[in-house]
Amino acid sequence: MIDAHIHLDQYNKEQQVTLLASGASFITVSTDYASCLANLQLAQHPAVHSALGFHPEQPVASAEQQAAIFALIRKHVFDIVAIGEVGLPYYEQVDRDAHIALLERFIALAKELDKPIILHAVYEDAQVACDLLEKHQLTRAHFHWFKGDTATITRMIENGYMVSITPDVCYEPEIRSLVTRYPLSQLMVETDGPWPFEQEFSGQLTTPAMMARSIEEIAHIKQLPKEQVATQLYTNTTTFYRL
């Protein structure tokens, strides 16, 4: 299995050792400049593939911080698999216009460097992200933990964008409905760890093992054999990220 979106740098050292021994592979995303540096270090492990970016659910980075992150991406363009996590603040309404401008810069850079982009953009923010992706003709877009309306979902499917599914597909109707509508060929699985999950996962450390349950539920929703779904999700991820 490949965890298509995890904050591996946010686990402690002991937890990282356990995760790296699990047999899974990881796309580890960054939240700021220090996180970018940490994920580059983690990517020295063969199971780890790093993405560099700036998480939007915080005040926008200063001009100096932005310059440092962009310079780091350019310096390590052959060491990373994507730009991310980037996007727009939905849960913390901070500096929205500045975040839109920064997102457009990241999208333009991804297009220039021929790298996929990993997006945090939900509900009406996804419409803005789609506008910018279309403006810059960037099709290698991965929306993680996506929620949105029918029109936006249709638009994303038609544009060929990927969506990754978290373990809350086991209990969250909105995510289950998304899986019903979205083509299997455009799906991946993720944990967004160390973010915690509820119900059967309550009180547990978020690990790649949870993706096995996600795959079971996706197979159940799609009414397909679990092995077929697991193989397709793996293929989707390796193809999209050119692993």
Is 85 assigned to a binding site? yes
Is 192 part of any known ligand binding site? yes
Instruction: Find out whether 158 is annotated in a ligand binding site.
Output: no
7 is in an annotated binding site: yes
Contacts of 35 by beta carbon, 8 Å cutoff, 6+ apart = 7, 9
* Phi, then psi, of 139 in degrees rounded to 5: -105, -20
To 10 degrees, what angle do helices 33-42 and 63-75 make? 20
Structure tokens belonging to residue 240? 């999209």
Instruction: Check whether 120 is labelled as a binding-site residue.
Output: yes
Q: Are 188 and 163 in contact (CB under 8 A)?
A: yes
Longest alpha-carbon distance in the chain:
50
The residue count of the chain comes to 243
Q: Which residues are annotated as a binding site for a divalent metal cation?
A: 5, 7, 85, 120, 144, 192
Q: Which residues are annotated as a binding site?
A: 5, 7, 85, 120, 144, 192
